[in-house]
Amino acid sequence: MAFEVREKDLLGRVGKLETKSGFVETPVLLPVINPRIQPIKPSEMKELFGCQALITNAYIVQRNLRQSAVEREIHRLLDYDGVVMTDSGAYQILVYGDVQVDPNEIVSFQEQINTDIATILDVPTGWRVSKEYADETVKETLRRARRLWKIKTREDVLWVGPVQGGQYLELVAKSARKMGALPFHIHALGSPTAVMEQYFFDVLVDMVMAAKRNLPVERPLHLFGAGHPIMFSLAVAMGCDLFDSAAYALFAREDRYMTENGTAKLSELKYLPCSCPVCVKNSPESLLQKPKKERQQFLTEHNLYVSFAELRRIKQAILEGRLWEHLEMRAHTHPSLLRALKRLKKYEDYFEENSPVTKTSGLFFFDSVGLVRPEAVRHRKRMEEYYSPPADAQILVLLPQTDGKPFHKSREWRGALSKMYQALGERFSAVHVCFYAAPFGVVPVELDEVYPLSQHEVVVPLNDEAIVYVAEQVATYIASTNYKQVVLLEDHEIWGKEIERACGQVCRKKGVIFISLVRDRMADKVLAERILSVLKLDE
C-alpha cells in the first residue's frame, strides 16, 4: 500500500492512494452511505459523479445487516465496486454517549466484510468538554490504537488512526505525535463536526494544524464530517486529503440547495445558479411543485454535483499553482472563512517551509490577506537571513514598484536607470538600486527577475495594512545594512507618506543621510539628473 504525492501547492496535494480495490486520487470526497437509506444508489454515484470512494458506518451495518454483510461482503452489499471506507461507530458515541460493541469486535468485523479502509473505534473528544475528559479520550484512543496491531489479521486493509483532543491544541498535538508513531496508513482528525457546524473555521484551522504539524507528512489526513464545498479549499490548503460528507443528503431533506459559495433554501431561489445536468432541466418553481421524495432526489444529485465539481476545481488550482487564489476567493464568501484565512498567519512559517519554491504561473496579490502566502513570507525571510547588498554599495536608491516587470526594465525606470549608470561611470557600483513593492517589501535590482518577483500582479491602490507592511520591511532592511545615504523616490499616489516616514525614522536613528524626492511624470533624463544631483559619493 502506498501514497504518492504528484502535485503540491501550499500544503494541498494531488496524490495517489493505493488500496486493494484500486487507486484513489486525492483530495477525494467520500459520500456517506447508509445501507438502509439510499436516495442515490452507490453504483449510480460512480456512474453519475465519478465517485472513486465512499464511506459507510461499520457499526450500523453490524447492528442491522451483520449476517448479510459478512456473507456478501461490503462491496456487494452496497453494490459498489470502488473503494469502500468504514467508520467504526465513534460518531454514535459522540451523539449517544456509547455504542453496544467492543472495540476488538468492530476491528474483526471490518476485516470480515472486506472493507478497503477501516477505522478503529476511537473515543471522540467532542466540543466544550473539560480538559481532563479530553485527555482521557486521547489516552483511551491511543490504548485502542496500540491494541489494533495485536488483534488485526489482514495485511491488505488500510487502517485509520484518529487524532483526538478537540479544542485543546496541546492534546491534539500530543495525540498526533503518539498516533503518528504507530504504523497507521492514514490519519484522521476527530471531533471537528461541532466546530464546522457553528462556522468556527478559525478554530478548525488551529485543530487541523496542530495535528498536521505533528503527524508523518507522508501519510494522508482525513477530515471527518467536512461535507460542504464552501470549506473544501481551506481544508485542502491545510493538507487534508480525504473528506466524508453526509451533508449532500441531509441538506436535501431540508430543501437546502448547496453552492460552492454557501447554501440557499430552495423556496428563496428565483433561479438555479448551476448548470449541472439536473439544474438545467428544472426551475425552483417547478421543483417546489414536485412531491417531497422527487425533490429530495433532485437536491441530493445537485448537491453531489456541486461537491465533486469543487474538488475538481481545487485539483486544477493545485496543478496551476493557484490554490491560494482559489482559497482567497472562497474565503470572501463568508466572514468566518475569511477569519480562518487570516488565522493562517499564525502558521506562515510552516506553510513557507512546506510549499513549492517555484511554480508555472505568476501570483495575484489582491490585498493584505496575501501577505501571509508562502512566496511573500519566503522572500522576507531570505532577505533577513541570507541577503547582503553589494560590497561597494554606499548609497541606497529606493524606487517604487511599477506595473511593468521586471521593474528595472519597465517603461518608467529603464531609461532613467540607464542614463544614471552611464553618468556614474566607474562609480556606479557605489549606488545600489532597490525597489519597494507589495507584497515583497524590498526587491534588490539584481534579484528583480528571480521568481516570483517579476511574476506577479498587484491590485492598486493598496490597502493601508499592505502599505504599512512594505514600509516595515524597508525599514528593517535599512536597519540591517551599512549604507551611508538613502535616497527615496516617493509615489504618494500609491503609497502616501508611510514609506518616507519609516525610512526617515530608521535613517535618523542610524545617522544615515536621508533624502526624499517626490516622483512625478518627468522625462528619463530629468529623472536621472535629479537622482544624481542628490547622491553624495565618496571621491
Nearest-5° angle of CA 178, CA 126, CA 182?
A: 15
- C-beta of residue 74 within 8 angstroms of C-beta of residue 108: no
87 tagged catalytic: yes
- Cα–Cα separations (whole angstroms), residue 504 to 40, 85, 217, 405: 67, 62, 46, 27
The catalytically annotated residue of 9, 79, 81, 87 is 87
Cell readout for 382 is: 531570505
From the list 534, 416, 432, 12, the residue with the least C-alpha distance to 240 is 12
Nearest CA-CA partner of 165 in 224, 197, 118, 123: 123
Quickly list DSSP for 181-248.
Answer: TS--SEEEE-S-HHHHHTT-HHHHHHHHHHHHTTS-TTS-EEETT---GGGHHHHHHTT--EEEE-HH
CB 513 within 8 A of CB 486: yes
Cα(93)–Cα(99) distance, integer angstroms: 6
Q: Report d(CA 252, CA 248) in Å as an integer.
A: 6
CA 382 to chain centre: 23
Cis peptide before 291 (omega within 30 of 0): no
CA-CA-CA-CA torsion sign (1, 25, 228, 80): negative
CA 28, 90, 343 angle in degrees (round to 5)? Answer: 55
Helices 201-212 and 335-343: crossing angle, nearest 10°?
A: 30
DSSP 255: T
Q: For residue 307, give Cα distances in angstroms to 41, 47, 259, 345.
A: 17, 15, 8, 28
Q: Per the structure block, which three cell numbers stand in for 407?
A: 521593474
| 17 in Cβ contact with 24 (< 8 Å) | yes
User: Positive or negative CA dihedral for 246, 58, 130, 186?
Assistant: negative
Catalytically active residues, by annotation: 87
